[in-house]
Chain A
Amino acid sequence: MPARKTIKKSTPKKTKSTRARASRKKAGKKGTATGIGQGPPGFMLVNMIPQSLSGETAQDSEPHLTVNPANPNMIIGTAFSPNPGGGALAPVYKSLNGGATWTVNAIVPSQAGSQLGTGDITTSFNRTGTKLYGGILRAGTGALEFLRTTVPAFPPMTVLKSRLSADQPFTHATTVPAGGVGAGQDRVYIGDNDFAAPAGKTQTVDQSLNAAVAAPAFNSVRVDKRTTMGQDGPQCRPVAHSDGTIYAAFYGWRAATGNFQANTFVVTSADVVVVRDDKWGGGGFVDLKEPVAPPGDGLAGKRVIKGVSFPFMIHGTAVTGQQRIGGTISIAVDPNNSSIVYLAWGDRQSGSFLTIHVRRSTDRGVTWSGPGDLLTIPNATNAALAINSAGMIGLLYQQVTGTGAGQRWVTHLQRSANAGVTWTDLVLANVPATAPVKTFDPYLGDYDHLVAVGQTFFGIFSTNNSPNMANFPNGVTYQRNANFTTHTLLNVNNSSPVAISIDPFFFKI
């Protein structure tokens, strides 16, 4: 049994680096880049706001990213960012040089003049890097829409399907490898919470098994087979392996109490469920079943943990660092072995508003490590797992430390090369949690994201953008104008100060 490691508090690693001091450019230079090379070899952390948007102060929260598997220099990031040009398309962040520099490109269907840009958004390249797929909640209507565009031209995305009454689309696309049935076909899986689903079993994987054709068909697979309290939670996270194994993880809501609009709502009993389909989703996600009672219930979907509890907040509070808390779930499959899968989820524990747990299965989800966790992290959210081609596990998360004026948001990347026995912690950012004051909920986002291509981890998170090297102990690069001596953001004219806000940050290692 792997040793359990509990993170009691987060202490950022402090390194002294004469290279870092020597590498700092003079304050006030356009495109100031500071603290390069302070982190581990190959580490890069970049503020994604381009120089021409140095004056922007939007709360660019809830980030997500996808890396072109065929060309890892090409990366697309998304966040709650309005179109700075104000047109009828919302933006994505695009890098063509592995994340070193970024542009903001308006290609997502939106609404002219929208201050929002887009609602929830996630995107995914297919395996061959010829298409970019996406799932959004459309600005203006709130409709769930499935999108597609071609690569590398990235023209405005086409709407493949649109319907109302669903939430939090989470997109995962791939392509059937050569030699198999359906070789070359794009497979797209979008997890969402569909309030129109019958009998309150709202957890859904909307999938297209041939998404690159002119008018692809999508079918909705209701993956929660058990009785709910009227609905499930918003998080449904699908992930595909190249051999056609598809996993999805979600919370099945069984009971709750409190008043949502009064911000006292608590899910008192939820199952953390993993489902699996061995045939690219064509089997209805029923290949992972519990044994009949006892000990199980004979239904599809392994209840990895039963009866967890957590708050589901309508808005964040001072205690939660301004961030609304509503659970967190992530699942990752080993690219070398589809039987190995890791799961992270959050629940409420004593003294913690949300605690992240990590566990592993080596038999395709039938049994799981435990009763202890591979990793336990209190007062944390936005868990994102990935596994690289060497079998190394990565976990990205954001943790609140301290209270009052000393409260901080600390963003971590934990990595393990030995199946979770030991972990190496890398602090990406350690910033004040009380500033800036939030403009809307969610403050940092209901998720962030981590993926692996080859042996490299690529990730994205949102946080306070104050240009202070003390906040980025392993270094950071800014494209937007910034004075790291006075800790001041500067406008396009490189002299007028700009208020701090929440920006998306890209990293890779």
Chain B
Amino acid sequence: MPSSSSPDALAQEARFVFKGTVQKLKAATMGGIPVDNRTAVVRVDEVIHAPEALSHYAGQNITVLLAGKKKFKKGQQAVFYANGLVFGESVAVQAVDHHDVGKTPAAMAVAGGDPVKNLAVRDIQARLTSADVILSGRVTSVRVPSDVVAAKSAKSAGLADPTVTGPISEHDPVWRIGEIQVDQVHQGTHTGKTAEVRFPDSQDVMWHDAPKFHPGQEGFFILHKSEKVKVAAKSAPTKDAGEYVAFHPVDFQPFDEPGGIRNLIGLSD
């Protein structure tokens, strides 16, 4: 019996959604996978949404670790919701659940047949949903937080630690504050014609894919309140932390980005 959870709800949990047909039960497509009555070889008939590494498996057999206790039969077709588990000479995925064929999640058809784009759109949608505000505008300036400037000045006077607020670490976010000239507020409430957004300017492994702002950039800013974001709050300058923070790769979408952001926030092209 298929899941009682909605397809869209399952799609939030699973990075790999595909239509597949069970080829063999109690079997696997590669060694090293413990085989039991919850392991099956499934042919991928159609990839609906997927990360790049799983996007090209249409027509191929993979190993699926089936969820729950629902029984499957050889030849049974279903929409599987899964996450990648083991990558070797083949692939094994852990199913979250499944649905009857024909219940393809509507939200996944946004980008057409490209499963990687479908997943990317879904990720942006999730970020939009959690955002406190979505603005469009232009970066007018970028500055060092005043706490850091003060620390440097204190060092010059021989009073304090030299260069940064906080310890010297290779994982220092190198916080900067970008001032945004706001054209429009698309979601949430923001007063004032400008917005201050803190972002990590570091190229360290932990921060390198965060947005990096510079004067002149124009686009959509998907922003969260500074004090709400755990990691950003803990390592933030204490006095000049910025009203908002942007550190997820999708938190900035240039106006010329063809990713459909305008559709997602209800704007016409």
Contacts and interface: CB of A to CB of B under 8 A. Distances in A.
Interface stretch (B101-109, B134-142, B199-207): B199-207
Nearest to B155: A259
Interface stretch (B71-79, B170-178, B238-246): B170-178
Contacts of A86: 15-16, 51, 83-84, 119
Interface stretch (A111-119, A211-219, A337-345): A111-119
A62 B171 CA distance: 14
Interface string A118-143: 01000000000000000001011110
Interface residues of A, number: 67
Nearest to A446: B170
Contacts of A50: 87-89
Contacts of A477: none
B32 interface: yes
Given A53-B53, A234-B169, A440-B204, A115 B88 contact: no
Contacts of A446: 170
Contact of A52 (B32, B88, B172): B88
Interface stretch (A101-109, A180-188, A241-249, A405-413): A101-109
A71 interface: no
A260 B230 contact: no
A105 B85 contact: yes
A324 B204 CA distance: 10
B89 A116 contact: no
Contacts of B269: none
B25 interface: no
Given A52-B88, A106-B85, A260 B168 contact: yes
**What class of interface size applies to chain B in its complex with A?**
35 or more
Interface in B1-59: 15-16, 30, 32, 34, 51-54, 56
Interface in B203-229: 203-206, 208-209
Nearest to B12: A112
Nearest to A103: B88
B267 interface: no
Interface in A1-36: 31
B18 to A, nearest CB: 12
B183 interface: no
Interface stretch (A77-85, A351-359, A417-425): A77-85
B67 to A, nearest CB: 14
A142 B208 contact: no
B87 A441 contact: no
A234 B51 CA distance: 34
A101 B32 CA distance: 11
A87 interface: yes
Given A256-B162, A258-B162, A260-B172, A84 B231 contact: no
A153 interface: yes
A141 B168 contact: no
A96 interface: yes
A84 B163 contact: no
A interface: dominant SS:
loop
Nearest to A479: B89
B168 A31 contact: no
A53 B202 CA distance: 28
A105 B92 CA distance: 9
A259 B162 contact: yes
A439 interface: yes
Contacts of A115: 209, 249
Nearest to B55: A55
A85 B85 contact: yes
A231 B168 contact: yes
B177 to A, nearest CB: 14
A442 interface: yes
Given A85-B15, A140-B231, A446-B170, A31 B32 contact: no
Contacts of B230: 141
Interface in A56-77: 56, 61-62
Given A62-B205, A85-B51, A256-B162, A312 B83 contact: no
B127 to A, nearest CB: 9
A167 B90 CA distance: 35
A478 B162 CA distance: 47
A60 B222 CA distance: 29
Contact of B56 (A324, A440, A492): A492
A222 interface: no
A470 interface: no
A195 interface: yes
A322 B56 CA distance: 34
A96 B34 CA distance: 13
Contact of A104 (B15, B88, B163, B209): B88
Interface in A169-198: 193, 195
A230 interface: yes
B87 to A, nearest CB: 4
A87 B94 CA distance: 10
A115 B108 CA distance: 21
Nearest to B82: A85
Contact of A87 (B84, B90, B123, B205): B84
Contact of B87 (A89, A103, A257): A103
Nearest to A104: B87
Contacts of B206: 116, 119, 137, 139, 142
Interface in A375-410: none
Q: Kindly list the 10 A-B residue pairs having the minimum CB-CB distance in the complex, ordered from nearest.
A: A85-B84, A87-B83, A84-B53, A440-B208, A103-B88, A86-B15, A86-B51, A104-B87, A195-B167, A260-B163
Given A52-B89, A61-B205, A142-B206, 5 more contacts: A52-B53, A116-B209, A142-B171, A165-B167, A315-B203
15 contacts: A52-B88, A84-B53, A85-B85, A113-B123, A115-B209, A115-B249, A116-B209, A164-B234, A256-B168, A258-B163, A259-B162, A261-B163, A312-B170, A441-B203, A442-B170
